Amino acid sequence: MPAALRSRIIALFTLLVLFTGCITIEENYTFKKDGSGTMEYVVDMSQIGEMMKAFEDMNKGGKKSDKEMGQLDLKDEVAALKGVPGIKKVKVKAKDKFVQKLSFAFADVNALNAALNVLMEDTTGTNYTFFTWEGNTLVRHNNDHAKQLGSGMGKGEDASDTTDMTEFLASMKYKYSFTFANDIVNTGAAATMTKESPDARSVKFDTDFSAIAQDDKALDLRIELKKP
């Protein structure tokens, strides 16, 4: 795509370094028995909303509009996702401009992987297999999208002060949630990933960008389901 989502997020985050590092990215999934499901991608900047609004008020007479200062335009991603085979019901929810939610339905993991290559491309520009099924186990691997996103966010920081950089990245969270049609038997994740199990068929994971910066497998997962 001519303008990658990753680059636009980095641009917003670089601006927001002036305020705070409290930003969260979420991937929320539901999987049906036939392998189809839904995905919601969330960029949550709500914790800095009031400060951003104050900053916008100070710049009303300047060159930057409210949309340029606070909103992430996802129209390119929406258009691209609508053209992906097996992807439908593509929607963006932006009731609060500091919380952007893009959702879609997928026919299977092949369609899901194609969609994630739209949302999470890295600088290699190559297609990546994010999800695979190994029997009853859903496996998630990751390209360098999140790591490069963290690196981009840190460009405005003093590279010589690694403590400040680590604290800055640690304040930015990356979350997963999964809901399945069958019970979850077992999960595997990096030691830096925290886990919550709301019920037998749901699981949530949480890490931060300092862990992602230090470990290429920080976002990798394995979720084993009970056989039907």
How does pLDDT run across 201-215, given as a tens digit for each residue? Answer: 999 999 999 999 999
- Residue listed under structure tokens 């593509």: 90
pLDDT band at residue 190, thresholds of 50, 70 and 90? very high
Q: Which residues contact 50 (CB under 8 A, 6 or more apart)?
A: none
In three-state secondary structure terms, 119 is: helix
pLDDT tens across 76-116, in order? 889 999 999 999 999 998 767 778 899 999 999 999 999 99
The residue type of 142 is N
Count of beta carbons in the 10 Å neighbourhood of residue 200: 12
* Cβ atoms of 10 and 146 closer than 8 Å: no
**Residue of 198, 210, 204 whose CA lies nearest to 223:** 204
Q: Which residues contact 205 (CB under 8 A, 6 or more apart)?
A: 175, 176, 177, 189, 193, 194, 195, 196, 221
pTM > 0.95 = no
Query: Which is more confident, 55 or 141?
Result: 141
Q: Which of 60-69, 126-135, 179-188 has the lowest mean pLDDT?
A: 60-69
Residue 55 confidence (pLDDT): 55
What is the residue-averaged pLDDT of the chain?
83
Domain edges within the chain: 5-225
Residue 71 confidence (pLDDT): 54
| For range 57-62, the mean pLDDT | 53
Residue 228 confidence (pLDDT): 83
